[in-house]
């Protein structure tokens, strides 16, 4: 393990906090834009962990995974925003609880 100026446990703690903020945002907010932003928070929490552990163990695989996650996040944002726009066009407002056509 390489020496680090900030201890690894701090990165893990910060990442956990950001991740659970994201989870809470997805679960409690009804505006889809906020939900998408919360999902981004969770992605970035994961990225932060990748970076921290890659640095700590001197293994570049973590960096590569971070780029991969950023790519997936970009694609997810594109599709998510497209869905939001489509829903807004048909319903004239956006609320994730109102999008319940698949209710059994």
Partner 1 sequence: MHYQMGNSGSYPLLLLLWLLPLAGAIVIWAFGPQLKRLAGALGSAVVGASFVATLLSWHDGTQSVAGAGANLVGAHQALVSWLPGFDFGLLLDPLSLLWVCIITGVGFLIHVYSIGYMYDDKAFARFFAFLNFFVFAMLTLVLSDNFVGLLVGWGLVGLASYFLIGFWFEKPSAVAAARKAFVINVAGDVGIMFAIFMIVASVHSIAFGDVFGNVGSLSTPWLLAICICLFIGAAAKSAQVPLHTWLPDAMEGPTPVSALIHAATMVTAGVYLVARCAPLWSQNADAQLLVGIIGGITALAGAILGCAQWDIKRILAYSTMSQIGYMIMGVGVGAYEGGVAHFFTHAFFKAQLFLGSGLIIHALANEQDVRRMGGLMKKLPFAFVAMLVGVLAICGIPGFSGSFSKDAVIYGTLQHGHPILYAIGILTAGLTAYYMFRLLFVTFFGSYRGDVDPSDLGIRHPELAGTAHAAHDDHHGEHHAPAWLMNVPVGILIVPSIFAGWLLFGGEHSPWAQFFAQQFPHPTLPTPAISELTTTLIVLACVAVGIGVAYARYATAAAQADAVERLRGESVRMPALLTNAFYFDAALDLLFVRTSQLFGTIFGRLIDPQIIDGAVRETAFSAQWLGTLVRSFQTGLVRAYAFVLVIGVACFLVYYAVISGGLH
Does position 26 bind partner 1 by CB under 8 A?
yes
Determine how many CB atoms are found less than 10 A away from the CB of residue 29: 15
Q: What does the alpha-carbon distance between residue 87 and residue 77 come to, in Å, rounded to a whole number?
A: 15
**For helices 32-57 and 61-91, what crossing angle results, to 10°?**
180
Residue nearer to partner 1 on the CB measure, 35 or 67? 35
Does position 77 bind partner 1 by CB under 8 A?
no
Shortest distance, position 101 Cβ to partner 1, whole Å: 7
Binding site residues, partner 1, CB under 8 A:
23, 26-28, 30, 96-97, 99-104
């Amino acid at each position: 393990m390489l020496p680090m100026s900030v201890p690894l446990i701090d990165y893990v703690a910060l990442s956990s906090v950001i991740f659970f903020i994201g989870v809470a945002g997805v679960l409690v907010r009804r505006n889809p834009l906020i939900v998408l932003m919360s999902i981004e928070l969770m992605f970035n929490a994961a990225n932060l962990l990748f970076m921290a552990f890659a640095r700590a163990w001197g293994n570049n695989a973590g960096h590569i995974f971070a780029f991969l996650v950023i790519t997936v996040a970009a694609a997810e944002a594109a599709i998510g925003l497209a869905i939001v726009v489509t829903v807004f066009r048909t319903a004239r407002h956006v609320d994730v609880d109102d999008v319940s056509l698949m209710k059994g």
